[in-house]
Amino acid sequence: MSGARITRSQLRKAIVSDCRLPITRHISEQPEISRGVRRQPFAALVVAAMVLAACTGTDEEVYVERPVEELYNEAVDQVTVENYTEASDLFLEVERQHPYSIWATKAQLMGSYSFYARGQYDDAILGLDRFIQLHPGNRDIAYAYYLKGLSYYEQITDVGRDQRTTELALQSLSDVSRRFPESKYARDAQLKIDLTQDHLAGKEMEVGRFYLNRGQYLAAINRFRNVIDTYQSTTHTPEALHRISEAYTAIGIEPEARENAAVLGHNFPGSQWYIDSYQLVEDVVVRDIDGDGVADQIPEERGFFGRLWPF
């Protein structure tokens, strides 16, 4: 599935393409005024502006309303050159100055992408949630769901920390896979779903090992069982089965230990975890001697003093 991965460049092109507005210029049709008549009002305006500037003495930015096409196209240009800070500010201006324009809707999505690209994932998620709520039928709605999933996915931390963000990433990416299975984002979303599930299983394994090492075997078994029931397609399943056998052996419930070792052997006959479980429940030394992927029992080798002492 590696061919289905979507790069950041492709993600940017997917939303920037076909989003530029044609620039229209408005030419004033006022009658020609003679140059001599025009100078006096102009000079008065200059003097008034100088007086006002001297009186205010502040550095506040003057609000200037600009045409929607000018603002929007400038913002798209900033995205193209990857100046996402300026781009997000300009897209916000499009929404603020022209809230009822059809391009304000596009600016919501583009602004969210700009926040995502500059690493402000929480701001991106807020904008995407608003877009999804207000425009559920928009043609770019699949992209919005996918970008929301990526915004959570990029914040996933190591298994030693809280995994709430990982759970939200899994939920959002599952929305993409379920709602838009035919979209160009579905395959990459599914790949990331597999990775998030593996990550969540890793967290359960870490907690289970903690309980196992402290002798809290029932709590450990519950954690390992959750990995098998909820994340059985992940890479952690063989170890989870082995740890369950280990825990049951420690508390003296041999039938359960053997049963889980048998399940491990049936599904993963060549894994090191099965070899470890077999040695544990059978109390023998095994190794894959003939290279067929199946563990073979090794006759116990006895040293010199062992051969002299028959017991």
User: CB-based contacts of 93: which residues, under 8 Å, 6+ apart?
Assistant: 66, 71, 75
According to the model, what pLDDT value does residue 138 have? 94
Query: What is the distance in angstroms between the CA of the first residue and the CA of the last residue of the chain?
Result: 57
Q: Which of the pair, 290 or 227, is modelled with greater confidence?
A: 227
Greater model confidence, 130 or 305:
130
pTM, two decimal places:
0.73
Task: Kindly state the average pLDDT of the residues 224-242.
Answer: 96
Task: With a cut of 70, say whether residue 275 has pLDDT above it.
Answer: yes
How far is it, in rounded angstroms, from Cα 116 to Cα 225? Answer: 37
Pairwise pLDDT comparison (34 vs 285), residue with the higher score: 285
Lowest mean pLDDT among 59-63, 171-175, 193-197, 201-205: 59-63
- Tell the burial category of 206 from Cβ atoms under 10 Å away from its Cβ (0-12, 13-18, 19+): middle
Indicate whether 214 pLDDT > 90: yes
pLDDT digits (tens, 9 = 90+) for 160-195: 899 999 999 999 999 999 999 999 999 999 999 999
Distance from C-alpha of 300 to C-alpha of 258, rounded to nearest angstrom: 21
Distances (CA, A) of 277 to 233, 240, 254, 284: 20, 11, 12, 10
Mean pLDDT of 29-58: 44
CA distances from 274 to 75, 207, 239, 288, 299 (A): 58, 21, 9, 11, 18
Write down the pLDDT at residue 19: 54
Q: Using N-to-C axis directions, what is the helix angle for 254-267 and 237-250, rounded to 10°?
A: 160
Most confident of 51-55, 263-267, 283-287, 300-304: 263-267
Average pLDDT value over all residues in the chain: 81
Q: What number of other Cβ atoms are within 10 A of residue 297's Cβ?
A: 13
Task: Express each pLDDT in 64-102 by its tens digit.
Answer: 777 888 889 999 999 999 999 999 999 999 989 888 888
Q: What confidence score (pLDDT) does residue 6 get?
A: 72
Among residues 111, 185, 84, the alpha carbon closest in space to that of 141 is found at 185
State the residue for tokens 């993600």: 11
Scanning the structure block, which residue is given the tokens 């894959």?
A: 288
302 pLDDT tier (thresholds 50, 70, 90): very low
The yes-or-no verdict on residue 9 having pLDDT over 70 is: no
**283 — pLDDT class (breaks 50, 70, 90):** confident
**Helices (H), ranges, 99-253:** 102-117, 121-134, 141-153, 164-179, 186-213, 217-230, 237-250
Q: Higher model confidence: residue 23 or residue 177?
A: 177
Q: How confident is residue 47, by pLDDT bands cut at 50, 70 and 90? A: very low
* Integer-rounded Cα radius of gyration of the chain: 33
pLDDT above 70: residue 307: no
Residue 31: what pLDDT? 33
DSSP class of residue 163 equals: -
Residue for token digits 């082995």? 242
Name residue 180's amino acid: F
Backbone angles phi, psi at 57, to 5 degrees: 65, 25
pLDDT band at 132 (very low <50, low <70, confident <90, very high): very high
Q: Which pLDDT belongs to residue 180?
A: 97
Alpha carbon distance 115, 121 (integer Å):
6
Cα→Cα distances 276→94, 177, 248, Å:
63, 38, 14
